[in-house]
Amino acid sequence: MALLVAPEDLLTLESVWTPERSRILLEIARAGLPYSERPQSLNWNWRAKAQHLRLVPASGFAVVCDDEWQGAMLTKSGTHFSQLGEDHGKPLVYIDFLEVAPWNWTIPGIGQTRKYGLIGPHLFERAVRQSWDEGFGGRVGLHALPQSVPFYGGACWMTPLGPDVDFENLTYFELSRDNAERILERHL
């Protein structure tokens, strides 16, 4: 179950994840992994992201298991609008950041397998539920890091709308109302 988080929770999360990120970065350097094989969220800092939760349209969610932060997500509600078909121009929930804990990253080059799976899909489903609860019909949008493109286009049934030149050329994705209903039905 995804828990609602406050800014101070993200400070705690970052204090726990930072040493693990440092360990992973050291192992990656020792293994000489190319940049393309490094987790693209390796340099994220949730402490810096905590300020986002002070904004009215922002919400934060996390998954905690075994008293450890396993993943976190920040969303914005009603600040972005759909570009898809019949829902064009209607508000959606925008996923600003979604990340699983460093020990849940699979990094073959250093022999690391994830501790827990399905954290990302669970957080994504929470964003869909938020959209549904807020009357947005399950519509969700996000810009994906290149390593995450297959996940959002495949497991999350999102529609890629191409690179966004105004957002570091990251691929912009949206979840349609129909696919949102499919996601919510499969997890009822």
CA dihedral defined by 177, 164, 93, 43, rounded to 10 degrees?
130
Q: What are 112-136's pLDDT values in tens digits?
A: 999 999 999 999 999 999 999 999 9
Instruction: Name the β-bridge partners of 29.
Output: none
What is the DSSP secondary structure assignment for residue 162, as one 8-state letter?
A: E
Helices vs strands, H then E, count in the chain: 5, 7
CA–CA separation, 180 and 188 (whole Å): 12
Q: What are 56-73's pLDDT values in tens digits?
A: 789 999 999 988 999 999
CA–CA separation, 150 and 109 (whole Å): 19
| Contact assessment for residue 144 and residue 124, using Cβ atoms and an 8 Å cutoff | no
Q: What are 85-104's pLDDT values in tens digits?
A: 899 999 999 999 999 999 99
Instruction: Give pLDDT, residue 187.
Output: 64
| Contact assessment for residue 128 and residue 98, using Cβ atoms and an 8 Å cutoff | no
